[in-house]
Amino acid sequence: MQKLYTSLFAAVLVVISLSASATAQTFPTDDPVIKKMWELGVENSQTPVLAHELIDVIGPRLSGSTNLAAAQEWVLGKYASWGVSAQKEEYGTWNAWEAGILHVDMLEPRVSTLEAELLAWSPGTDGPVSGEVVFPPANLTEENAAAWLSTLKGKFVMMNAPESMCRASQELEKYARPETVTKLAEQRRAAAIDWNTRLSAVGDFRTRDATIEEAGVAGMLTSRWSGGWGVNKVFSTSAKTAVALDISCEDYGLLYRLAESGNTPTIRVNAEARALGVVPQFNVVGRIEGSEKPNEYVLLGAHLDSWHAATGATDNGTGTITMLEAMRILKTAYPNPKRTILVGHWGSEEQGTIGSSAFREDHPEVMEGLQAAFNQDNGTWRFERIEGQGYLGAAAHIPQWMNVVPTEISSHITLELPGAQNNTGSDHSSFVCAQAPSFRLQSPYDEYRQYTWHTNRDTYDKIVFDDLSENATLAAMLAYMASEDPVKMDRSLANLPGTGRDGQPRTWPTCRPARRSAQ
């Protein structure tokens, strides 16, 4: 049962900044294990090689894909080569899908190749398919919707409002007149409302795509601009027969302007895609057995799956590599931990933290014996923040563990203790909801959200390897200190900040059952 605390410490967020002082030493401790970890992780980092093999060679790792299966075998091979025990643990099934070559070209009113991506699980085209591009007219109502639907056979339908400008917001705000920024924002909101009003004549958000697809369209076009130059967020589709495409912000706007002016564009799409049936899904779990407290656990984690439009470099290739490298460091520098050290390379995080939730359900003994879990899921830059996730015990343990960390790393990290659970929705949440101590190793968010999170630009070249090597080294050091700590983590819960006017704290999150299939 959650305990309510009235102490100042429990009720108020305490922020500890681990700033380097003028007299700080590189190593605050003479601990040979810490020094060995620095040598292995920073001076002899394997992260560039690991990143190339995972991100460049294997590539994107969509749930159910052969690439994800290949990545899991690659992880197992790495652990075998380092002498780390690891295995795949099946937790359910998912729909397998494989995309091939995609070409999208405008043929009329002029020839131009368009930047596009298939939405995940989209049908292919069975060869090149050409058709006009149309959009829902301004006068579309429930009364004339059937008539409009009857005109769509063989055409490509624009499913969301175009952007009036594809310029990155930070530059617009820096250089444009304030009234221009305001006007564009108002235009954007009005266009989205107007477009949704038009499509509401066809059906609600749950039915309109199927209704349009049933009209015999050649394809459905979307564009989910991410607010930066040349970058879109690319997700999935429920389409069964019509090809579903994401078109770049710039090209989507071009198609709309041509269609709106009466210069109706014709595009040709050649999309290779195959549905491969239902396949089993796995987590990969590695283990270094504890020598004194084998039934107590330190858990490192990161999801291995990604979206498919790029190569999943920072979401979450870097998290995967952080934990792989941390385990390599641990196996060499700390081969006989006091507590058992586990690592989870989770599946299907992008479909709702499925792999980590299934691990929680399948391993109650780990939840019961968990000393601490550390998860990483946005690796654009070095770690800047560790939040206590609302555990009072975090304030007694995490600063102690950080005390041995070289100042080159620790001086850049802020601890928020006990924490307000500011970050949810990633795999650490799968354990926090069970009141098992789990912490997020947080990198900066703004650029990550804009440019690489779930986008077509999440590629190897975005990785900062100086930061990645330090991140992996810190993960190993935290696992070491958590394993060595003579005291078990206290799971007493702090009051979470309230969201309403009554001043009452938020309730602790509850766990949802793991969704173990796509059906």
- Report pTM: 0.94
- Predicted pLDDT at 52: 98
Q: Which secondary structure element, helix H or strand E, spans residue 409, and what is its range?
A: helix 407-410
- Token pair 């108020």 is found at 12
97-112 pLDDT, tens digit per residue, is: 999 999 999 999 999 9
113-169 pLDDT, tens digit per residue, is: 999 999 999 999 999 999 999 999 999 999 999 999 999 999 999 999 999 999 999
- Predicted pLDDT at 419: 95
Average pLDDT over residues 80-104: 98
Q: What residue segments make up the domains of the chain, in order of their start?
A: 25-95+278-484, 110-264
Residue 10 has pLDDT above 90, yes or no: no
- Token pair 């009005």 is found at 190
Average pLDDT over residues 230-244: 97
Mean pLDDT for the chain?
Answer: 94
DSSP 194-227: HHHHHHHTT--TTTHHHHHHHTT-SEEEE--B-S
Q: How does DSSP classify residue 422?
A: -
How far is 49 from 441, CA to CA, in rounded Å?
23
Q: Alpha carbon 25 to chain centroid distance?
A: 36
Average pLDDT over residues 305-310: 98
Give 12's pLDDT tier (boundaries 50, 70, 90).
very low
- Predicted pLDDT at 20: 41
CATH architecture of 25-95+278-484: 3-Layer(aba) Sandwich (3.40)
How far is 393 from 391, CA to CA, in rounded Å?
5
399-446 pLDDT, tens digit per residue, is: 999 999 999 999 999 999 999 999 888 999 999 999 999 999 999 989
Structure tokens at 175: 């250089």
Residue 38 has pLDDT above 50, yes or no: yes
CB distance 341 to 285 below 8 Å = no
- Does CATH place domain 110-264 in 3.50.30.30? yes
Q: How does DSSP classify residue 376?
A: -
Give 15's pLDDT tier (boundaries 50, 70, 90).
low
- Predicted pLDDT at 4: 36
Structure tokens at 329: 């460091």
| Lowest mean pLDDT segment, chosen from 1-5, 33-37, 471-475 | 1-5
Give 16's pLDDT tier (boundaries 50, 70, 90).
low
- Predicted pLDDT at 132: 98
**What is the percent of the chain with per-residue pLDDT over 70, rounded to a whole number?**
95
Burial of 329 (0-12, 13-18, 19+ CB in 10 A): buried
How far is 288 from 284, CA to CA, in rounded Å?
14
What lies within 8 Å, CB to CB, of 409 at 6+ separation is 382, 383, 470, 473, 474
Give 348's pLDDT tier (boundaries 50, 70, 90).
very high
Average pLDDT over residues 46-54: 98
CB distance 388 to 490 below 8 Å = no
CB distance 359 to 283 below 8 Å = yes
271-296 pLDDT, tens digit per residue, is: 999 999 999 999 999 999 999 999 99
